Structure 1
């Protein structure tokens, strides 16, 4: 297996613990002032030097073979080589468990120098997260902080991740808050996302909202947080706040998916702003984000209808109806056209509605059709149609039809029209 020279140097650095001085916040550390310092025995030291030469020549596999051939006898030599091998295996795909075995042996020996031992614990914990050994990882991250006295926000975040994976959501908040505290000068979103996830899993909507409110303030350019905040407001039934948030997100270009646009349209409708809902849906249908199907066309038509934009509603009801020859939608189109005195359009739509055998109110549709014929000056056809309506099963409609039959006759007679 080949590694780059740069990666080889990184592995060696991990192995011998020659990390740079950390600027991590210091905690109360274990007193290591009296910890003894050892050196490698000459025999092992010579072989380690040869391993370095192989690394420098980019002969990584040969270096690993040589390292495995070393059979150290002294406790320090054993711990050193265990850490060395663990660090080498850590860089190989699929060798995580092997790396953990060696690093655990090194940590258990507790004989390496302060820097070496701390490095071994940290690497061991990182690998345990990688291998989904989350309980062990949490234990060793805490051990690393206790031993070194350092508080690294990334470690607190990894502890939080481990608790999330263990579904111990109540334990996620404290390490996430500690990471936030340590990153206060330059906030990152990772610990906030951990808190959000924990509160969501615990069904604590109000706390999740509090986190998201902070997130949109700290990371205003992150579009997803605006959409999430709006959706959480909806879960909490705070619809005005949801609309305010989603509207701001939209005008800033943060809503880019179909589902987000549909949520905003629904919020406009729920907050009695159907005009904006219709305009929004129509715009994004034209742009291709929203599919042009019966359901979406019907939704646009309904929104224009609620907004009293009847001409636009007639247009979209007709387009929606035509997709599946939906009689109900043709009926709505016809009644609105009749309301606007567009009698020819009403006649056309109502005739199509009556072709649908599943139409729920055929008597009403026939009655309105007869009226449309009448107001379109087609008295003979109006009379014939209204006489048919007189036989309707719906008694109230049939009764009204009787009144209209007389009215049609009287009007035709008054205007000298033979029917």
Structure 2
């Protein structure tokens, strides 16, 4: 669960030399003034003990002392006692106008900082109904949004963020972060797209925003947009991961630009020595019909892992490099491909017009696995030999 730091709380004058001083009885006013002086002289413990020892007879005096005790307890780090005293002061209903508002705000903020979100929310909503001109309504709605966020009340988060933005006249990072979190939880994918675009505008080097935007665009079936997003991130120098860059290559291939996909794979770390990356790159070059480049990269992959020898041999055969294909076919060790290898040799020798060797391999293929293809080759090659003779 995320924790939020209390900022600028209780930053209000605590001196009784205010417009409310006249509302206190003289004896309590003197004690409160003394406690205030002790607090200002960093004698917080003495100030608390002085106030605790008071037993006001007037209800307003009692509420005011509890309010002050709540502030002092918070300053001393005793949140529970601060909450108790501030709650009593607020619930008395005797504090006046802005004094009452500020006290409730203190209580709500301390409850929030204590992760008592359900208790804090009613106070924040009460405060939101009447915000003094010298108070920050946008910050108030930020606290409301934060509380709902912690309670995973996602629709309420969105409502609170919208209220906050109206006071701000713009959307800032705090609002956008919470809005995005709520939208993702509610699976509001389309709504999350402009939110992420706004976050990218504010933090263009934050890779997570680019990654999330691409992921959502793919989820929405917008592969074209996803490619543009990832390509733009790369151009702008965002620190994309190797996985991101590999995804970019896939997007290029899906878009029908396999040569860009191959080039992107070639830029990955270890692309020149990793047999898997070499094989992927070779496939993309093949898709791009860049046969010479594909052969070159398949050869590099096969030299590092023999399982790619078959693909190399097939491409050599396709491109008419029959003797080179035969050399590579000799090196294929996968027994599951034994019959296919023999049939590939048949084709190579046939193209080289060596029908004797071709029929030998056709019979070998038929012995391994008799198929219509192997039988057809045997019949055809026997006819060719008879014609030659």
If the length of structure 1 is used for normalisation, what is the TM-score?
Answer: 0.74
Q: In terms of mean alpha carbon deviation, does 267-276 or 142-151 score higher?
A: 142-151
- Cα-to-partner distance string for 1:166-225 (whole Å, 9 max, x where unaligned): 22222222211122222225x412212222222221122222224334544566565543
Aligned pairs (5 A) from 1:18-97: 37-38=23-24, 40-53=28-41, 55=42, 63-64=44-45, 66-68=47-49, 70=51, 71-74=53-56, 75-76=59-60, 78-90=62-74, 95-97=78-80
Residue 237 of structure 1 deviates from its aligned partner by: 0.9
Corresponding residue for 2:342? Answer: 366
Distance 1:141 1:17 in 2: 25
- Does the 8 A contact of 2:124 with 2:144 survive in 1? yes
Q: Does 1:331 align with 2:324?
A: no
2:373 to 374, 385, 397: 397
Q: For structure 1, which segment, 334-343 or 270-279, has the greater mean C-alpha deviation from structure 2 after superposition? A: 334-343
In structure 1, stretches of 5+ residues that fail to align are 1-9, 19-32, 56-61, 415-419
> 99, 113, 117: which one pairs with 1:134?
117
Alignment partner, residue 163 of structure 2: 178
The corresponding residue for 2:269 is 285
Q: Give yes or no for contact 1:382–1:408 (8 Å, CA) kept in 2.
A: no
Query: Post-superposition shift, 1:389?
Result: 2.3
CA contact (8 A) 2:205 2:239 kept: no
Q: In 2, distance between residues paired with 1:253 and 1:377?
A: 56
Counterpart position of 1:59: none
The 1-side partners of 2:223 and 2:61 are apart by 66
Work out which of the residue numbers 78, 102, 105 in structure 2 matches 1:119. 102
- Structure 2: distance between partners of 1:369 and 1:109: 97
1:227-238 aligned at under 5 Å gives the runs 227-238=211-222
Q: What displacement does 1:269 show?
A: 1.9
Q: Aligned ranges for residues 299-310 of structure 1 at < 5 Å?
A: 299-310=280-291
Aligned to 1:7: none
Contact 2:15/2:36 (<8 A) preserved: no
Structure 2 gaps of 5+ residues are 1-7
Among 148, 161, 168, the residue aligned to 1:163: 148
1:51 Cα deviation (Å)? Answer: 2.7
Q: For each residue in 1:36-78, what CA deviation from the matched residue of structure 2 results, as whole angstroms up to 9, or x when unmatched? A: 844752134223312321x2xxxxxx52354145322224554
Q: Given that residues 275 and 304 in structure 1 are in contact (C-alpha distance below 8 angstroms), is that contact kept between their aligned partners in structure 2?
A: yes
Separation of aligned partners in 2, 1:126 and 1:276: 54
Partner Cα separation in structure 1 for residue 10 and residue 189 of structure 2: 47
| Structure 1 residue 84, shift from structure 2 partner | 4.0
- Cα separation, partners in 2 of 1:403 and 1:131, compared to 1, 3 Å: farther
SS of the counterpart of 1:308?
coil
SS in 2 for 1:16: coil
Task: State the Cα distance separating 1:306 from its structure 2 match.
Answer: 1.4
Higher relative contact order (CA 8 A, sep 6+): 1
How far, CA to CA, are the matches of 1:404 and 1:36 in structure 2? 117
